[in-house]
Structure 1
Amino acid sequence: MADASTVTIRTRKFMTNRLLQRKQMVIEIIHPNLANLSKADVSQKLGKLFKSEPDLVFPFGFRTQFGGGRSTGFALIYDSMEAAMKFEPKFRLVRQKLATTEQKSRKQRRDAKNRRKKLRGTAKDKKKVKKQK
């Protein structure tokens, strides 16, 4: 079996997005005879390639080509941690353990869902906002 040194990462459609303080790109990973790389490994390699910290690299959306050996995905490399915290969606921050979610009990979530079902239209959103305050 091949080792990890045979893995090649190429970038396509590279763009520097000054407004969101990040570099964004499509990445192509060629990994013959190997399973796909973990996102942590991809972050390490892209961080080294673009002279950035691995914490600021957010790879996501990977699809493996049929038959294996090649995967494509998307990556964002932020200029600073502040920019990442400001612009990155919360679920991706949670995936990289930069944020936490408060997990309510199943019973509480179910009760809130059933209360919302009794309301109509935008009242559901108002009820949600009222709960959060």
Structure 2
Amino acid sequence: MNDIEAELDDYLARYADTLTSYDAHAAAGLWGTPGMILTDEQGAGVLESREAMAAGLEQSYPLYRRLGLASVGYERLGHERLGDTIFLVRVRWLFYDSDGNRMTDSHGSYILRRGDEGLRAFVCVPADDAEKLQALAAEKGVGLTT
């Protein structure tokens, strides 16, 4: 493993830890500003501040708790250097219940930039999280609010 792979894995592990602990402010701290979520369905959403990012994350936590999400892991599927400090990272997120059983997964791509604070995400392109979340909610009989 080369240095950037170790750095990327450290970043992803810290991000997964913030999701496991439902720490929206720590998760937002791993983002640069502005941050963008780019989807096929909703287009581009831009969050100008880390406070706005944390607030957005916190809105999803009640649903995740109702679904029984207890921990998050990841697999780094690949990465590409786009510039001296910019990297494209493909990730498979793994979601577990309190017994350690995998509930679902999702895939996403992130553009990260290394700056004075280390790596920070600036763009996320989720591939299948909405579909996987809907399927898990249906399986567990949990209603999704829009």
Instruction: Give TM-score, length-normalised by structure 2.
Output: 0.26
Instruction: Give TM-score, length-normalised by structure 1.
Output: 0.28
**Which one has a larger percent strand, Structure 1 or Structure 2?**
2
